[in-house]
């Protein structure tokens, strides 16, 4: 039966994808090419450095490693300006209520994110107290679809993968959950997230009762 929920951050708990997108777009323009919203889909769930490499591929540019590091740092500084303006109001609809419902029902909660800014963001939106464990981009060596981030989350919670359900908005994240032997719920567009056990448009109608149906 289900004992724990593990949540991705960007695109599941908060809509930071738009901030990432703006910061990467500015960077691309600075290098002399455009970066579209369509291209941005490829960056979901992907680490900062890998994101930069994908963008440079799109712009058909190759840069030395030290310049890449400088660009990634600059992008992150621009991104953090938006993050610092976030408040509790930036938590996506229904998320706080669902987290509270999980905890009231005795389910454990963890965060499993590729972001190195995860703790900062959860603090900004005042959600830190609702997580029993946080595993983020500073804790893992292998990016999704490798299951490391979710397996570490389960371990920190003291539950088995089979007892976990992962909430993800990225295909690489769903694959990471599967690769770790966990069930997964897609958050977003059913045509993109078809490999999930089921897909919800958001948390507004999500309940623990619905979650427990997955366990039967």
Task: Please give the positions annotated as active site.
Answer: 8, 10
If the CB atoms of residues 1 and 197 are measured against Mg ion, the closer one turns out to be: 197
Q: Does 116 bind ligand BG6 (CB under 6 A)?
A: yes
* Range in contact with ligand BG6 (rule: CB under 6 A) among 113-121, 122-130, 180-188, 199-207: 113-121
Strands (E), the chain: 4-7, 108-112, 133-135, 164-168, 183-187, 198-200
CB of 12 to ligand BG6, least distance (A): 9
Q: What is the per-residue binding string for Mg ion in 126-165, x denoting contact by CB under 5 A?
A: ----------------------------------------
The two beta strands, 4-7 and 164-168, are parallel
Q: What does the alpha-carbon distance between residue 179 and residue 192 come to, in Å, rounded to a whole number? A: 18
* Range in contact with ligand BG6 (rule: CB under 6 A) among 30-38, 43-51, 84-92, 103-111: 43-51
Strand partners, 4: 108, 164
- Kindly tell me which residue out of 4, 20, 56, 166 binds ligand BG6, with binding defined by CB under 6 A: 20
Q: What does the alpha-carbon distance between residue 39 and residue 46 come to, in Å, rounded to a whole number? A: 13
- According to CB under 5 A, which residues from 161 to 190 bind Mg ion? 169-170
Q: Angle at CA 90, nearest 5°, toward 78 and 19? A: 25
**Nearby residues of 51 by Cβ (< 8 Å), 6 or more positions away:** 20, 24, 43
CB of 15 to Mg ion, least distance (A): 10
- Kindly tell me which residue out of 2, 5, 6, 11 binds Mg ion, with binding defined by CB under 5 A: 11
Phi, psi of 109 (to 5 degrees): -130, 140
Instruction: Summarize as ranges the residues that interact with ligand BG6 (CB under 6 A).
Output: 9-10, 20, 43-48, 51, 76, 113-117, 137
Instruction: Summarize as ranges the residues that interact with Mg ion (CB under 5 A).
Output: 8, 10-11, 169-170
């Amino acid at each position: 039966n289900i004992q724990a929920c593990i949540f991705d951050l960007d695109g599941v708990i908060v809509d930071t994808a738009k901030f990432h997108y703006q910061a990467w777009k500015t960077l691309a323009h600075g290098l002399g090419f455009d970066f579209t919203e369509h291209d941005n889909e490829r960056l979901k769930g992907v680490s900062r450095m890998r994101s930069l490499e994908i963008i440079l591929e799109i712009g058909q540019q190759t840069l030395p490693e030290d310049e890449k590091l400088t660009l990634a740092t600059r992008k992150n500084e621009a991104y953090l300006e938006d993050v610092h303006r976030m408040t509790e109001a930036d938590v996506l609809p229904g998320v706080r209520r669902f987290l509270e419902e999980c905890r009231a029902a005795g389910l454990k909660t963890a965060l499993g994110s590729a972001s190195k800014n995860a703790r900062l963001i959860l603090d900004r939106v005042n959600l830190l107290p609702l997580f029993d464990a946080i595993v983020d981009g500073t804790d893992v060596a292998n990016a999704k679809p490798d299951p490391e981030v979710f397996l570490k989350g389960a371990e920190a919670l003291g539950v088995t993968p089979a007892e976990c359900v992962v909430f993800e908005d990225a295909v690489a994240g769903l694959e990471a959950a599967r690769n770790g032997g966990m069930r997964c719920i897609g958050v977003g567009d059913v045509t993109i997230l078809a490999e999930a056990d089921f897909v919800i448009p958001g948390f507004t109608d999500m309940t623990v009762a619905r979650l427990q149906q997955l366990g039967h």
